Amino acid sequence: MKIIVYLTCAIGLCLVSCSHQPEPSLPVPSPQQLEWQQLETYAFIHFGLNTFNNMEWGYGNTPASTFNPTDLDCEQWVLTLKNSGMKGIILTAKHHDGFCLWPTETTDYSIKNSPYKNGNGDLVRELSDACKKHGMKFGLYLSPWDRHQAEYGREGYVEIYHRQIEELVSNYGPLFEFWFDGANGGNGWYGGAEETRSIVAEQYYDYEKAREIVWQHSPEASIFGGTVPTLRWIGNEKGYANAAQWCMYKTDFESLNDIKTLPVGFKDGEAWLPAEVDVSIRPGWFYHKSEDDQVRTVEQLMDLYFNSVGHNTNLLLNFPVNQEGRIPSIDSNNAVQWHQKLQRDFAENLLKGSKVIANDTRSRRFNPKNVVDDDYSTYWATHDKVRRAELIFEFPQAITFNRLMLQEYILMGQNVDAFYLDYYFNGKWLPIETNEPTTTIGYKRLLRFQTVRADKLRIRFKVFKGTLCINKVGAYLAEETL
């Protein structure tokens, strides 16, 4: 009798716990980090004195009088970027040369001493207003390194830097991201001293305080760079993340700057620190006429996309604004066409009408059909501790496809470390030949391959920790194969 009672209790407990939401397998994203990851693509704008002087890194003494856009139109930027699928814009409010695009109280080296609008202009205001008007998120880049400031390298500058942050976050928010650039110290004008100054970045800027100031006004802002970021640099400016790519990472400053491990992440990393791929649509970050014929093509932009968003990162794509104050038409045409192609290629999830069969399902609430609905909050989950499980999609009629999208429900962690893809046709299973290893998934994984015709698709998952939670699977037929 006792045994029966125990057994009934045990089965009952198991049923209750297994129909429960799985336990998150730490580390997991904060709600803010998840929201950030869901942006997927957003834009950088590099614009400033460099634009007018054909430079990438101004020394700090370029005359403010050279900043003189003749036909500036922030709405043109915002609309172009919106039509390119960008969900937000991050502006270089101050680059390494120290020139400020807003009329700051902290220095005369700013837009107020330029001919633009006779010194009454405020570019940060103009862009933040245009973003608000068109429902675009707004973020700021404020270079910690300042080659103009006499106080740079001493305590006085850090106070100035924090005041600049305060001015920006209190006047132009809310901000979705704040960018602390990593280039630090070296030679510069420094108020006329013209010398080399080096600092210890992880101590000098007091990034803890800087983040506190940002979050006082924009608590939802993601933080790039410094010592207390909420996301990490991908470790290169070429536009790619490793195919196996973990959102988990280490938080010590050395690791945050280690270009070997940044593109990959750490399978056993202690913190959730997803990666951002920053890259320019042209070779330079700032506009140079000589690069007008080197704008990335639709095909190259597509490669960037698959190597960034498709590898579980966000893409921060830079658009250099020219001397008129416009995004040049060649850049805008390529970016808009790229976005339109993406929309066409991913318009229809061909798995939607299929029968979805799983060899293990936690409970009805976590049923495998959830992977083909478009609801982010529903997902397929297995029982706890299941380390291998598979999904089979059976089609009423054979389908052809050449793209796959997979998403883990990352609020439960990034838990998959391998997956295998097969399709069934003419009575046999054949592997899908992808051009890269199928190891990690994370927030999003995209794959390209030669078109296959299939009666069934099978995905076998291997999990190394936590519970398998798959949020979405999509198969698509893009216009051409690779």
The answer to whether the beta carbons of residues 465 and 246 sit under 8 Å apart is no
Cis preceding linkage at 27, omega within 30:
yes
Q: At what angle do helices 123-133 and 155-172 cross, to 10 degrees?
A: 30
Q: Is 183 in the site for ligand FUL (CB under 6 A)?
A: yes
Which residues ranging from 334 to 393 are in contact with ligand FUL (CB under 6 A)? none
Closest by CA position to 310, among listed 157, 107, 431, 478: 478
The tokens for 206 are 């007091």
Of 180, 183, 67, which is closest to residue 123 (Cα–Cα)? 67
Give least dist CB 174 to ligand FUL, A: 22
Q: Which stretch binds ligand FUL (CB under 6 A): 114-122, 175-183, 368-376, 443-451?
A: 175-183
Q: Is 200 in the site for ligand FUL (CB under 6 A)?
A: no
If one asks whether residue 182 binds ligand FUL (CB under 6 A), the answer comes out as yes
Over the window 6 to 45, marking each residue x when it contacts ligand FUL by CB under 6 A and - when it does not, the resulting string is: ----------------------------------------
Nearer to ligand FUL, 122 or 278 (CB): 278
Q: Is 276 in the site for ligand FUL (CB under 6 A)?
A: no
In whole angstroms, how close is the CB of 226 to ligand FUL at the nearest point?
A: 13
8 A C-beta contact, residue 194 and residue 148: no
Shortest distance in whole angstroms from residue 304 CB to ligand FUL: 15
Residue 215 φ then ψ, to 5°: -75, -20
CB-wise, 182 or 185, nearer to ligand FUL?
Answer: 182
Q: Report the alpha-carbon distance of residue 309 to residue 448 in Å, rounded.
A: 13
Nearest to 56 by CA among 318, 317, 332: 318
Q: What burial letters (b/e) apply to 184-217, b meaning 16+ CB within 10 Å?
A: bbeebbbeeeeeebebebeebbbbeebbebbeeb
Per CB under 6 A, 177 contacts ligand FUL: no
Residue 47 in contact with ligand FUL, rule: CB under 6 A: no
- By CB under 6 A, name the one of 181, 276, 408, 422 that touches ligand FUL: 181
| Closest CB 205 distance from ligand FUL, rounded Å | 14
* C-beta of 97 vs 122, nearer to ligand FUL: 97
Q: Does 285 bind ligand FUL (CB under 6 A)?
A: yes
Distance CA 183, CA 160 (A): 18
Stretch that binds ligand FUL, among 7-15, 131-139, 176-184, 265-273 (CB under 6 A): 176-184
Rounded to the nearest whole angstrom, what is the least distance from the CB of residue 285 to ligand FUL in the complex?
Answer: 4
Binding mask 56-75 for ligand FUL (x = CB under 6 A): x-------------------
Determine contact, residues 24/413, Cβ cutoff 8 Å: yes
Asked if 152 interacts with ligand FUL (CB under 6 A), we say: no
Q: Where does this chain touch ligand FUL (CB under 6 A) — which range of 180-188, 333-341, 421-429, 455-463?
A: 180-188
Q: Decide if residue 167 touches ligand FUL (CB under 6 A).
A: no
Say how far apart CA 422 and CA 416 lie, in whole Å. 17
In sequence order, what are the residues at sequence separation of 6 or more whose Cβ sits closer than 8 angstroms to the Cβ of residue 149?
A: 60, 98, 107, 157, 160, 190, 191
Give CA separation, 97 vs 51, 58, 434, in Å. Answer: 12, 5, 45
Binding mask 221-260 for ligand FUL (x = CB under 6 A): ----------------------------------------
H or E, element range at 80 = helix 74-83
- 205/423 with CB nearer ligand FUL: 205
Closest by CA position to 143, among listed 220, 57, 208, 67: 57
**Residue 205 binds ligand FUL (CB under 6 A):** no
Residues that bind ligand FUL (CB under 6 A): 56, 181-183, 278, 285
